Chain A
Amino acid sequence: MNLLKLILRNIFRHKLRALLTVLGIAIAVMAFGLIRTMIGAWYQGTEASAPDRIITRQAISFIFPLPLADKDQIARVPGVKEVTYLNWFGGVYKDKNNFFARMACDPESFADIYPEYQLKPDELAAFKKERNACIVGKKLADQYHFKIGDVIPLAGDIFPGQWEFVVRGIYTGRDRSTDESSMYFHWDYLNERVTKSSPGRANQVGWYVVKINNPTEAATVSEKIDAMFKNSDSETKTETEKAFASGFISMSSAIISGLQIISYVIIGIIFLVLANTMIMTARERIREYAVLKTLGFTGQHIALLVFGESLSIALIGGIIGIALIFPISAGFAKAMAQFFSYLVVEPSTIIIATVLTIMVGLVAGFFPAMRSMRMKIVDGLRQIG
């Protein structure tokens, strides 16, 4: 017998109340983790960025295209190693709920500038060779069961018409943060059709991805590129890949803030549920605590019992809640499939959830612990509890 055993037995004295408290905490911790994971989806881009890549896009907004002709000029800027370009294709794969990134690229330079997308050599060769070939990320392939040789039909919106692409490669990410849920096909193929159907929109790219020789020169090279196109018809804004990705975060800053506020509210709710239970519990045990004091246990011992109970309940609920974050995130990603392709639960989320659970366990137990600790033995003995 020791204090820990006593604490655990006390927790389950009222099985129903313990169960409900743990459940309440578990649900709240799960919701907290879910929201953090959602916020993390916005930050995915910044984590996958490379320090030696800068993005050149139209100065006002990346939704405005840039002329292909700019490419050679950019390539000649000192400090630039190589230039590639991408167009956001958009379109719909069967159902508008099947959202994933679909982009047109130049396979040669793309493979050079994004070494973290790993393809088998024969797959890369096949991709480069066929005009309407495409490559898809492994996560995407798993999600939609794409195999080499499958045809992916897309209904274009930005570029109207029916499009078909043949899967010739499935790429894997070299790093943990590398995206594996996008689809890439030939820019030339896109441009060919656009030239025929709406020639005014031909030979335009969405944005340029520029690989520079030295990451420390990112700012100077960016300025040089932008200076080149200043006062032209297509002024550019060049920034590091990370800054570019951060731009998307600040676009939705209001929503992200809202989500963060909700996550704090959740913490408040966890605290209230647990504090409520601890107050009731401590109130019922007053006489028992008085008896323990009679036996010679000190106020500190009593406080330990109360804190111990509070922490234990919090941790049990927290662990269950954390375990539940995974399935709920997956379910959420499904429900919001037109916005997120997938949601990754970051280790930082789990750590923060754990720390917060512990803190709430301590704070919720504080008031009852102090009260029980300071209570006079004779007053406590008088209580009916």
Chain B
Amino acid sequence: MKIPLSYSFRNLWTRRLTTSLTIVGLALVVFVFAAILMLANGLERTMVATGSDENAIVLRKSAESEALSSVGLDESDILATQPEVALGADGKPFVTKEIVTMINLSKRGADASDLSNVIVRGVSPAGLALRPQVAIVEGRMFNFGSSEIIVSKGIQKQYDGVELGGSIKFGGRSWKIVGLFDAGKTAFASELWTDNDQIRQAFNRQGFSVMIFRLKDKEAFNTIKSKIEADPRLNDLKVLREKDFYAAESELLATFIRILGLMVTIIFSFGAMIGAMITMYAAVANRTVEIGTLRALGFKRRSVLAAFLFESLFLALIGGVAGLLIASLMQFISVSTTNFTTFSEIAFSFSLSPSIIITTLIFAAVMGFVGGFLPSFRAARLNIISALRSS
């Protein structure tokens, strides 16, 4: 005979204060757990979205980031003519040769002296087309040959002094902001784009930082990789799939968040389990006479175990759902921090996924189970006579 579930529910309700406190504690832990998973996921999503499988990026071998890379004029010319490079709609190589540098902007609401490094990317005419994730949403594309610039909507929202129609000064000249672009959840959402020729003049550069091109077909990547490694004119460069490159750029930051998150959560979960244990032990202690009565009436030990375990699990799941709900609200918050590898700003947000929801609920259930097991076990093992006698 099973002890009805309503018995467990009513008991939780009777000791509401203690029950609520335990649930809040569990919810907090679940919240932290889910938030950290969401943060790491958000960062990963951004990186994954940023690169395309169809594009390859060429940089200097020793460069960890685009801003510190250099690809010479000659090198880029040689590469552009390779058969592995796809042709664009105009019949010309589908290639963008870009100069990537940084400027200082100050966040809205922050101290004027508290500046962040934001990327400015000088692109070739094919630059926009090669990145379908990027689209102009307000204003227009800049004109090549003039000091015009387009700004990511994300940057415009977060930083001062980058409004549509306004202008921004750097590199010794003034640039008119003629358009805002949406770059989804990609790294480009933290950038400003303009004509690479204008950047070269303003910063007196020789050559480019990087070169990105569309791969002709699936096998093209490996072919061109071997070519570059073998060619003495090119072997100071490296080529990666665009996706892999951006993933690598954020790997350090992502690893940091993940390890940090994991350790914090492990510590937290111990705290939560202990909280659950205390509550459940108290519940058992308070209902000793009751338990004795139930057993005297004929309910088996395992029914008692099950009833208490169910209570504990139920507590944990309520806490889990509550924590998850609050964590899901974090999706409205976007985080902007300095990427450890590039030392420039990267914006990403908390991203919830079905697997995170499932993982979190399992985590909550495990906490409830582990926290509740020993007390439930004790409840089941009570000797009927002494239980009935205890006052």
Contact = CB atoms under 8 A, between A and B. Distances in A.
Which of B61, B62, B67: most chain A CB closer than 10 A?
Answer: B62
Interface in A101-128: none
Contact of B263 (A64, A265, A332): A332
Given A31-B268, A231-B172, A269 B343 contact: no
B246 to A, nearest CB: 18
A251 interface: yes
Contacts of B279: 276
Contacts of A266: 268, 271
A360 to B, nearest CB: 13
Nearest to B264: A262
A338 B17 CA distance: 45
Interface string A278-301: 011000000000000000000000
Given A157-B64, A262-B32, A335-B259, A273 B264 contact: no
Nearest to A233: B204
B337 A158 contact: no
Interface string A1-37: 0000000000000101100110110011011001100
Contact of B103 (A60, A272, A276): A60
Chain B binding surface, main DSSP class? helix
B95 interface: no
B9 interface: no
A158 B103 contact: no
Given A17-B281, A159-B62, A273-B25, A63 B67 contact: yes
A50 B305 CA distance: 65
Nearest to B375: A16
Nearest to A273: B275
Contact of A61 (B29, B117, B236): B117
A352 interface: no
B285 to A, nearest CB: 8
B66 to A, nearest CB: 11
Nearest to B104: A60
Please classify the interface of chain A as helix (H, G, I), strand (E, B), loop, or mixed, using the class held by over half of its residues: helix
B356 interface: no
B277 interface: yes
A348 interface: no
Contacts of A27: 267, 270-271, 274
Nearest to B117: A61
A313 to B, nearest CB: 12
Given A27-B270, A265-B28, A269-B271, A336 B21 contact: no
A269 to B, nearest CB: 5
Contacts of B312: none
B101 interface: yes
Contacts of A156: 62
A20 B267 contact: no
A21 B25 CA distance: 13
Interface in B228-268: 236, 252, 255-257, 259-260, 263-264, 267-268
B335 A24 contact: no
User: Of A21, A61, A266, A277, which is in contact with the most chain B CB atoms at under 10 Å from its CB?
Assistant: A61
Contact of A250 (B101, B114, B282): B114
12 contacts: A20-B274, A21-B278, A24-B274, A27-B271, A31-B271, A233-B203, A254-B335, A254-B336, A265-B28, A273-B274, A276-B22, A277-B278
Interface of A: 14, 16-17, 20-21, 23-24, 27-28, 30-31, 34-35, 38, 59-64, 156-160, 198, 200, 231, 233, 250-255, 258, 262, 265-266, 268-269, 272-273, 275-277, 279-280, 328, 332, 335-336, 338-339, 384
Given A251-B343, A273-B271, 12 more contacts: A20-B277, A21-B274, A34-B267, A63-B67, A198-B62, A250-B116, A251-B337, A252-B338, A276-B21, A277-B278, A279-B18, A339-B252
